Amino acid sequence: MSRNLLVTCLALTVGLGLMASQVASQTPTATTPQPDEAHSPPPAPAGSDAAAAPEEDPQTQAVIAAVERFAQAYTSGDTQTLEDCFLDDATVVDSEGNDTRGKEAVVGMYVSALEQTPGLKLESQVNEVRFITPEVARVEGRSRLSVVDGEASEFTRFSALLVHRDGKWQAAEIREYPLPVEEITPYERLQELEWMVGDWVDEGEANRVTASIRWAENQSYLIRTYAVEIEGEKASSGTMFIGWDPQSGQIKSWLFDSQGGHGEGLWTRTSQNQWVVKAQGVLRDGRPTSATQIHTILNKDTVKTDSIDRIIGGQIAPDIVDIVMVRKPPQPNSTQPAAETSR
- Within the chain, all domains assigned CATH 2.40.128.20 are found at 3-20+189-327
pLDDT by residue (tens digit) across 295-341? 998 998 999 999 999 999 999 999 998 889 999 887 666 554 444 43
Q: Is the pLDDT of residue 191 over 60?
A: yes
Instruction: Please report which confidence band the pLDDT of residue 179 belongs to, taking 50, 70 and 90 as the band edges.
Output: confident
* pLDDT score recorded for residue 33: 38
CB atoms within 10 A of CB 266: 17
Please say whether the structural domain 48-184 has been given the CATH code 3.30.460.20. Answer: no
The three-state secondary structure class of 162 is strand
Domain ranges in the chain with CATH number 3.10.450.50: 48-184
187 contact partners, CB below 8 Å, separation of at least 6: 24, 47, 218, 219, 220, 341, 343
Give the H/E segment covering residue 208: strand 207-215
Q: Does domain 3-20+189-327 have CATH number 3.90.226.10?
A: no
Q: How confident is the model at residue 207 (pLDDT cuts 50, 70, 90)?
A: confident
Q: What is the DSSP letter of 118?
A: T
Contact between 133 and 34 (Cβ < 8 Å): no
pLDDT at 150: 57
